[in-house]
Amino acid sequence: MKKLFCIFMSTIIIFSATSCKGVKQEVEKLAVVLAIGFDLTPENKYLVTVQILNPQENSSQSTSSKKGGGQDPSSEVLIFSSEGDTPLDAINRLSIDYGRNLYFGHSDYLVIGKNLAESGLSLLVDAILRGYETRPDNTLLLAKDKASKILAFKPIDEPIPSNSVKKLITLQSIRGFSPVVTRLDFASTLSSKTTAPIMGIIDISKDNNIGNTFKLAGTGVFEKDKLIGYLDINETRGMQWIRGKVKNGNITVTTPDNSKVTFSIINGSSKIKSSIENDSVTIEITIKSQSNILEMPGKLDPMKDPKIMDDLAKLQSEAIENEVKLALNAAQKKLNADIFDFGGLIHREHPAYWKKTEDNWNHIFPNIKVNVNVDSSLKGPGVISKPIK
């Protein structure tokens, strides 16, 4: 029996090893892509730009300096672009020009240019979903101008630009000033009848104090696969409060005597319910936030007067409610786009009503009543308990 088992296991190992033949690719023949960008040219061609890990950093026999077209051979990354009639045609042409197969297994995000987003993303989404190498959790980002500019930009704080963007994506996933939307998220909302697709905005910040860096803030809003408008950073965080995505960050309020108090958010959550009466929809949003006091004027002493903590919590609730109302106004009045998936909520909680109104939801959504209830609690006054006089 033991002998038969050994023969069986040997057979499995042999077939497992041989099954990879033809699929295995030698590392030195691959171009490792760290980030991708797509634009639409004036001639309606797809322009792909890729950020490739410079093989010369790890191999003295690399030919990247010859292929780099004047790029710095000591740079950690190389930037290449190519045009094509379709997204994959552009990628194939780039691979031929560069002389290596492009490997997308390590790519972290994909940037889409404004012109392409406005013209429609259905073909691009189809292409990136069918690709087996790229991960479905890759983040999609929207450029206010050209994606190629974002891909070519090298910030002062990172030799590998994609690392800088990855840190921003991680930060904004809990701070709420930009939504983190994967290619699978976008494709799902694209095919949904209940919600409008969105995408976080990436830009280049030209701050004289810290130098040129990436900035990830704001939201692009789509109707089907076409870009129709934007949310600013405050409207975006209001949207993220509703979606329960704000878990960290700061919020500053003004007291009745015009002093400024800043809170450090340590947790946030939201619950959304719907009701229908006489064919009229009402949405109830309940947001809970927990914070600590980060800074406040010296004359406030919550240790002497505990009511101060309650008053400050109320001010924080009002500030959060204002951000939420900014998002609601932008979605309902400016863009007429259900970016909160209220339609999905109605579909789940009131299927009969949804069935008779889904084709008319775009006309119903701007006029639905939304009640916002915010409950903020302050856990503590910070490290110091007494004011600094």
Q: Which amino acid is at 86?
A: T
pLDDT of residue 259: 85
- b/e per residue, 234-243, with b = 16+ CB within 10 A? bbbbbbbbbb
Q: Which amino acid is at 260?
A: K
> Tens place of pLDDT for every residue, the chain, 389 residues?
545 445 444 544 444 444 444 444 455 568 899 999 999 999 999 999 999 998 775 544 333 333 445 566 558 999 999 999 999 999 999 999 988 899 998 898 999 999 999 999 999 999 888 765 677 789 999 999 999 999 999 988 789 999 999 999 999 999 999 999 999 999 999 988 899 999 999 999 876 555 688 999 999 999 999 999 999 999 999 999 999 999 999 999 998 888 899 999 999 999 999 999 998 999 999 999 999 988 887 676 666 677 888 899 999 999 999 999 999 999 999 999 999 999 999 999 999 999 999 999 999 999 999 999 999 999 877 555 555 55
Phi and psi of 111, rounded to 5°? -105, 135
Q: Can you tell me whether residue 273 is helix, strand or coil? A: strand
**Cα distance between residue 298 and residue 381, in whole Å:** 12
In this structure, are strands 139-143 and 109-112 parallel, antiparallel, or unpaired?
A: parallel
> Where would I find the beta strands (DSSP E) of the chain?
30-40, 46-53, 77-84, 101-103, 109-112, 139-143, 181-182, 198-207, 211-223, 226-231, 249-254, 260-277, 280-295, 369-380
Complete domains list, the chain, with CATH: 27-231 (no CATH), 233-389 (3.30.300.210)
Q: Cβ(347)–Cβ(361) under 8 Å?
A: no
Q: How far is CA 291 from the centre of its chain?
A: 24
> Where would I find the beta strands (DSSP E) of 259-368?
260-277, 280-295
pLDDT of residue 305: 72
